[in-house]
Amino acid sequence: MKTMKAEQLALPGVRQLTPYQPGKPISELERELGVSNIVKLASNENPLGPSPKALEALRDEIGELHLYPDGGGFALKAALSAKLGVSPAQITLGNGSNDVLELAARAFLSPENSAVFSEHAFAVYPLVTQAVGAKAQVAAAHDGSAGPHYGHDLEAMAALVDASTRLVFVANPNNPTGTFAPHADVERFIARIPADVLIVLDEAYNEYLPPALRFDTTAWVRKHRNLLIARTFSKIYGLAGLRIGYGIAQAELTDLLNRVRQPFNVNVLAQVAALAALGDLAFQQQSYELNRRGMQQLVEGFHALGLQTVRSYGNFVMVRVGPAAKVYQALLERGVIVRPIANYGLPDWLRVTIGLPEENARLLQALPAAIAAARG
């Protein structure tokens, strides 16, 4: 009887994948090092937790867990429709916005096709591309006149689009760099991309943009049949643990995504919490203001230590510390979890989530000793 290793049965792209590495959980660090009183600034979570209205909605719904969720997400789609000024038929609900990204890859990519994205862009783009066997075409990040600034080079990305391209990922703001491309530049980029190429505009951190930079990008969906906007409830809404996001596109494109979407992909608790959080404008503003002040606290603290940062428009900031893997480990030993990003091609940098004031202060206090230990 012939025997085969399990990996021989998988598609070549799957065999070559490196699994996504999430930020280290607090419980794991407690088990590994026996550290307590831990601060986690690794996963771009909202340090305030969920909206109080979302928590109330969850308590009210907990007795209904024996029932399947609404597979069409009627109530949440209706609320999103009213807020965004689009039809419910233009909304795809996902198990986090990651799910929406994967739906796009499954619906539009094959081994004969390619996807274009930027260097230092979100790690899920190459993962979903490679998982379906498609080719990744990666544009080098921007080099500005004042030196590298790690943002998307939209001109370079457009130049990589060829006859094989079926999908382009644009993150704005981008994770992990925090960089932001002006909306006018993005709109010109979208207009340049052929109509038979799907553009995924990933706006997971859109709500953290300052008021002067906010723009109704859903207006572009009305003009471009090949545009999909992906957003999430994981960040400013504080619902990362429930995994819920959504896509906005023209109805014809939404229909295609729903053909590959799993039935009941968004659970009942996620739907009711997202619906409640969507209407909690006071909590969203509180989260925005906390992030703005925390960003200033960390950036000023890093600069006082002589460390370089990249201007960020999300709820995190990159800081250059030298031997980042060693600094990361030294911080773990001091009860602080941040995110090393060598897997993004940035081995000298750490990505730090904006936390509560006391959490930010804890990092800034621990960082000098951690850097000294790493360099010693």
Residue range 103-153, pLDDT digits in tens: 999 999 999 999 999 999 999 999 999 999 999 999 999 755 444 568 999
Q: pLDDT per residue over 307-320, tens digit each?
A: 999 999 999 999 99
63, with CB counted inside 10 A (0-12, 13-18, 19+), is exposed
Q: pLDDT per residue over 217-245, tens digit each?
A: 999 999 999 999 999 999 999 999 999 99
Q: Is the per-residue pLDDT at 20 higher than 80? A: no
* Closest by Cα among 211, 215, 208, 188 to 199: 188
Q: What is the CA radius of gyration of the chain?
A: 21
Q: Are 136 and 85 in contact (CB under 8 A)?
A: no
Buried b (16+ CB within 10 A) or exposed e, 215-225: eebbebbeebe
pLDDT of residue 175: 96
Ordered by where they begin, the domains of the chain are: 6-49+282-375 (3.90.1150.10), 52-279 (3.40.640.10)
Q: pLDDT per residue over 274-309, tens digit each?
A: 999 999 999 999 999 999 999 999 999 999 999 999
What is d(CA 146, CA 320) in angstroms, rounded to the nearest whole number? 17
Q: What is the pTM of this model?
A: 0.92
Q: pLDDT per residue over 88-105, tens digit each?
A: 999 999 999 999 999 999
Proportion of the chain above pLDDT 70, given as a percent: 91
The mean pLDDT of the chain is 92
DSSP codes joined into one string, 166-218: EEEEEESS-TTT-----HHHHHHHHHHS-TTSEEEEE-TTGGGS-GGG---TH
